[in-house]
Protein backbone atom coordinates (compact mmCIF):
# COMPACT_ATOMS: atom_id res chain seq x y z
CA UNK A 1 0.00 0.00 0.00
CA UNK A 2 1.31 3.43 -0.93
CA UNK A 3 2.01 5.82 1.92
CA UNK A 4 1.49 9.53 1.56
CA UNK A 5 0.92 12.68 3.61
CA UNK A 6 -1.79 15.30 3.08
CA UNK A 7 -1.82 18.87 4.36
CA UNK A 8 -5.03 20.79 5.01
CA UNK A 9 -5.61 24.25 6.44
CA UNK A 10 -8.10 24.34 9.34
CA UNK A 11 -10.94 26.85 9.12
CA UNK A 12 -11.55 26.91 12.88
CA UNK A 13 -9.50 26.83 16.04
CA UNK A 14 -9.22 23.68 18.10
CA UNK A 15 -10.84 24.27 21.48
CA UNK A 16 -10.24 22.62 24.83
CA UNK A 17 -13.28 23.90 26.69
CA UNK A 18 -12.31 22.17 29.94
CA UNK A 19 -9.43 24.61 30.38
CA UNK A 20 -10.81 27.45 28.23
CA UNK A 21 -8.00 27.06 25.74
CA UNK A 22 -7.90 27.33 21.97
CA UNK A 23 -5.20 26.94 19.34
CA UNK A 24 -5.08 27.97 15.69
CA UNK A 25 -2.94 25.70 13.50
CA UNK A 26 -1.14 26.67 10.30
CA UNK A 27 -2.04 23.24 8.95
CA UNK A 28 -3.01 19.66 9.74
CA UNK A 29 -0.80 16.86 8.45
CA UNK A 30 -2.32 13.42 7.98
CA UNK A 31 -0.42 10.22 7.22
CA UNK A 32 -2.22 7.75 4.95
CA UNK A 33 -1.46 4.08 4.35
CA UNK A 34 0.31 3.36 7.62
CA UNK A 35 3.01 4.88 9.83
CA UNK A 36 6.05 6.51 8.23
CA UNK A 37 9.48 7.21 9.79
CA UNK A 38 10.69 10.78 10.24
CA UNK A 39 14.27 11.60 11.29
CA UNK A 40 14.60 14.79 13.29
CA UNK A 41 17.60 16.86 12.01
CA UNK A 42 18.27 18.17 15.52
CA UNK A 43 18.43 14.93 17.48
CA UNK A 44 18.70 12.28 14.80
CA UNK A 45 15.81 10.49 16.50
CA UNK A 46 13.52 8.56 14.19
CA UNK A 47 9.86 9.11 15.07
CA UNK A 48 7.08 7.02 13.58
CA UNK A 49 4.30 9.30 12.42
CA UNK A 50 0.75 8.08 11.98
CA UNK A 51 -2.68 9.65 11.91
CA UNK A 52 -2.95 13.41 12.21
CA UNK A 53 -0.43 15.95 13.50
CA UNK A 54 0.02 19.70 13.84
CA UNK A 55 1.92 21.73 11.26
CA UNK A 56 3.48 25.06 12.23
CA UNK A 57 5.51 27.22 9.83
CA UNK A 58 8.14 29.71 11.03
CA UNK A 59 10.35 32.22 9.25
CA UNK A 60 13.42 32.89 11.39
CA UNK A 61 16.20 34.50 9.37
CA UNK A 62 18.11 35.12 12.60
CA UNK A 63 18.00 31.52 13.86
CA UNK A 64 20.34 28.93 12.35
CA UNK A 65 19.45 26.35 15.00
CA UNK A 66 16.35 24.46 16.06
CA UNK A 67 13.01 26.19 16.78
CA UNK A 68 12.91 28.41 19.85
CA UNK A 69 11.48 27.27 23.16
CA UNK A 70 8.49 29.57 22.54
CA UNK A 71 7.83 27.65 19.31
CA UNK A 72 7.96 24.36 21.20
CA UNK A 73 5.50 25.62 23.80
CA UNK A 74 3.22 26.73 20.98
CA UNK A 75 3.05 23.30 19.32
CA UNK A 76 2.67 21.56 22.69
CA UNK A 77 -0.37 23.76 23.35
CA UNK A 78 -1.64 22.99 19.84
CA UNK A 79 -1.32 19.24 20.45
CA UNK A 80 -3.05 19.66 23.81
CA UNK A 81 -6.03 21.44 22.23
CA UNK A 82 -6.28 19.25 19.12
CA UNK A 83 -5.56 15.90 20.76
CA UNK A 84 -2.89 15.13 18.15
CA UNK A 85 0.20 13.25 19.34
CA UNK A 86 2.85 14.81 17.14
CA UNK A 87 3.70 18.10 15.48
CA UNK A 88 6.13 19.30 12.85
CA UNK A 89 7.65 22.77 12.76
CA UNK A 90 8.86 23.81 9.32
CA UNK A 91 11.46 26.55 9.77
CA UNK A 92 12.92 28.80 7.09
CA UNK A 93 16.22 30.01 8.51
CA UNK A 94 19.22 32.04 7.31
CA UNK A 95 20.18 31.77 3.62
CA UNK A 96 16.71 30.32 2.92
CA UNK A 97 17.63 27.05 4.62
CA UNK A 98 14.44 25.06 5.25
CA UNK A 99 14.29 22.33 7.88
CA UNK A 100 11.51 20.34 9.52
CA UNK A 101 11.57 19.38 13.20
CA UNK A 102 9.29 16.82 14.83
CA UNK A 103 7.92 17.00 18.37
CA UNK A 104 5.89 14.44 20.28
CA UNK A 105 3.25 15.37 22.82
CA UNK A 106 4.98 15.91 26.18
CA UNK A 107 2.71 15.42 29.20
CA UNK A 108 5.04 17.33 31.56
CA UNK A 109 5.16 20.43 29.35
CA UNK A 110 1.42 20.27 28.67
CA UNK A 111 0.59 19.97 32.38
CA UNK A 112 2.73 23.05 33.04
CA UNK A 113 0.83 24.93 30.32
CA UNK A 114 -2.47 23.91 31.94
CA UNK A 115 -1.27 25.16 35.34
CA UNK A 116 -0.42 28.58 33.94
CA UNK A 117 -3.69 28.76 31.99
CA UNK A 118 -5.70 27.89 35.10
CA UNK A 119 -3.80 30.52 37.09
CA UNK A 120 -4.53 33.10 34.38
CA UNK A 121 -8.28 32.39 34.32
CA UNK A 122 -8.45 32.33 38.11
CA UNK A 123 -7.05 35.87 38.14
CA UNK A 124 -9.46 36.97 35.40
CA UNK A 125 -12.50 35.43 37.12
CA UNK A 126 -11.63 36.86 40.53
CA UNK A 127 -10.29 40.23 39.33
CA UNK A 128 -6.83 39.47 40.69
CA UNK A 129 -3.49 40.79 39.52
CA UNK A 130 -0.10 39.14 39.31
CA UNK A 131 2.06 39.62 42.39
CA UNK A 132 4.60 42.41 42.27
CA UNK A 133 7.32 39.90 43.06
CA UNK A 134 6.75 38.39 39.63
CA UNK A 135 8.05 41.61 38.07
CA UNK A 136 11.77 42.48 37.90
CA UNK A 137 12.91 44.32 40.99
CA UNK A 138 13.43 48.04 40.39
CA UNK A 139 15.88 50.20 42.31
CA UNK A 140 14.84 53.86 42.57
CA UNK A 141 17.43 56.60 43.10
CA UNK A 142 16.46 59.69 45.12
CA UNK A 143 16.86 62.62 42.68
CA UNK A 144 15.72 65.36 45.08
CA UNK A 145 19.15 66.93 45.54
CA UNK A 146 20.47 66.23 42.05
CA UNK A 147 21.67 69.23 40.04
CA UNK A 148 18.90 68.68 37.49
CA UNK A 149 16.17 68.13 40.08
CA UNK A 150 14.31 71.37 39.28
CA UNK A 151 14.36 70.72 35.52
CA UNK A 152 13.21 67.12 36.00
CA UNK A 153 10.41 68.26 38.32
CA UNK A 154 9.15 70.71 35.68
CA UNK A 155 9.30 68.06 32.96
CA UNK A 156 7.43 65.49 35.05
CA UNK A 157 4.76 67.99 36.08
CA UNK A 158 4.31 69.27 32.52
CA UNK A 159 4.11 65.71 31.25
CA UNK A 160 1.30 64.88 33.69
CA UNK A 161 -0.45 68.16 32.89
CA UNK A 162 -0.26 67.36 29.15
CA UNK A 163 -1.88 63.96 29.80
CA UNK A 164 -4.72 65.66 31.68
CA UNK A 165 -5.16 68.20 28.86
CA UNK A 166 -5.18 65.47 26.22
CA UNK A 167 -7.97 63.68 28.06
CA UNK A 168 -9.97 66.89 28.53
CA UNK A 169 -9.65 67.92 24.89
CA UNK A 170 -10.31 64.38 23.68
CA UNK A 171 -13.61 64.47 25.55
CA UNK A 172 -14.41 67.88 24.02
CA UNK A 173 -13.44 66.65 20.55
CA UNK A 174 -15.78 63.66 20.85
CA UNK A 175 -18.68 65.91 21.88
CA UNK A 176 -18.06 68.23 18.92
CA UNK A 177 -17.67 65.26 16.57
CA UNK A 178 -21.02 63.81 17.61
CA UNK A 179 -22.66 67.22 17.23
CA UNK A 180 -21.33 67.69 13.70
CA UNK A 181 -22.46 64.21 12.64
CA UNK A 182 -25.89 64.74 14.18
CA UNK A 183 -26.27 68.12 12.46
CA UNK A 184 -25.45 66.77 8.98
CA UNK A 185 -27.52 63.61 9.44
CA UNK A 186 -30.54 65.66 10.52
CA UNK A 187 -30.34 67.45 7.16
CA UNK A 188 -29.74 64.18 5.30
CA UNK A 189 -26.38 65.48 4.05
CA UNK A 190 -23.10 63.54 4.03
CA UNK A 191 -20.60 65.93 2.41
CA UNK A 192 -20.36 69.72 2.77
CA UNK A 193 -17.79 72.47 2.34
CA UNK A 194 -17.53 75.39 4.75
CA UNK A 195 -14.85 78.03 5.37
CA UNK A 196 -12.37 76.34 3.03
CA UNK A 197 -12.86 72.93 4.68
CA UNK A 198 -14.36 69.68 3.42
CA UNK A 199 -16.56 67.90 5.97
CA UNK A 200 -17.48 64.28 5.27
CA UNK A 201 -19.65 61.84 7.23
CA UNK A 202 -19.22 58.24 6.07
CA UNK A 203 -20.46 54.87 7.26
CA UNK A 204 -17.58 52.43 7.72
CA UNK A 205 -18.50 48.74 7.60
CA UNK A 206 -16.31 46.14 9.29
CA UNK A 207 -16.84 42.76 7.67
CA UNK A 208 -17.78 39.73 9.73
CA UNK A 209 -14.90 37.44 10.67
CA UNK A 210 -15.03 33.63 10.96
CA UNK A 211 -14.25 31.79 14.15
CA UNK A 212 -10.56 31.10 14.67
CA UNK A 213 -8.78 31.46 18.01
CA UNK A 214 -11.39 34.03 19.02
CA UNK A 215 -15.14 33.60 18.47
CA UNK A 216 -16.68 34.73 15.19
CA UNK A 217 -17.64 38.40 15.00
CA UNK A 218 -20.70 39.75 13.16
CA UNK A 219 -20.55 42.60 10.68
CA UNK A 220 -20.48 45.99 12.39
CA UNK A 221 -20.53 49.60 11.25
CA UNK A 222 -19.68 53.01 12.66
CA UNK A 223 -19.89 56.60 11.50
CA UNK A 224 -16.63 58.33 10.55
CA UNK A 225 -16.13 62.11 10.48
CA UNK A 226 -13.40 63.58 8.26
CA UNK A 227 -12.47 67.27 8.09
CA UNK A 228 -9.80 68.40 5.59
CA UNK A 229 -8.49 71.71 4.34
CA UNK A 230 -9.55 72.45 0.76
CA UNK A 231 -6.61 72.70 -1.63
CA UNK A 232 -6.37 75.43 -4.21
CA UNK A 233 -7.28 74.02 -7.61
pLDDT in tens, 56-99: 999 988 888 889 999 999 999 999 999 999 999 999 989 888 99
Q: How many domains does the chain have?
A: 2
* Neighbour-count burial of 141, counting CB atoms closer than 10 A to its CB (0-12 exposed, 13-18 middle, 19+ buried): exposed
Is residue 181 very low, low, confident or very high in pLDDT (cuts 50, 70, 90)?
very high
Torsion angle, alpha carbons of 177, 183, 186, 189, to 10: -90
Domain assignment of residue 43, yes or no? yes
Domain end position, chosen among 62, 96, 125: 125
Nearest-angstrom CA–CA distance, 144 and 106: 54
pLDDT, position 213: 54
Q: Which of 25, 157, 1 is nearest to 82 (CA)?
A: 25
Q: With a cut of 70, say whether residue 182 has pLDDT above it.
A: yes
Domain assignment of residue 100, yes or no? yes
Which residue range forms the structural domain that includes residue 209? 172-233
What's this model's pTM, rounded to 2 decimal places? 0.58
Q: Which of 99, 105, 110 is nearest to 40 (CA)?
A: 99
Domain end position, chosen among 89, 109, 125: 125
**Mean pLDDT value of segment 23-48:** 90
Nearest-angstrom CA–CA distance, 45 and 37: 10
**Mean pLDDT value of segment 18-34:** 94
Domain assignment of residue 59, yes or no? yes
Same-domain check for residues 110 and 198: no
**Mean pLDDT value of segment 18-47:** 91
Domain assignment of residue 157, yes or no? no
Same-domain check for residues 119 and 16: yes
Amino acid sequence: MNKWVSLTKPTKAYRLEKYRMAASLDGVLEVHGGAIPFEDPQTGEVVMLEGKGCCEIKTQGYNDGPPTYENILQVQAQMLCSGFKWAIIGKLGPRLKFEMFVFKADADIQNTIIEYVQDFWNKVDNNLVYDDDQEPEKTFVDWTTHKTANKLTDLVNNHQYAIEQIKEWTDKKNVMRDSIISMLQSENVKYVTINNKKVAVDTVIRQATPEKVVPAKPETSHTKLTIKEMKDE
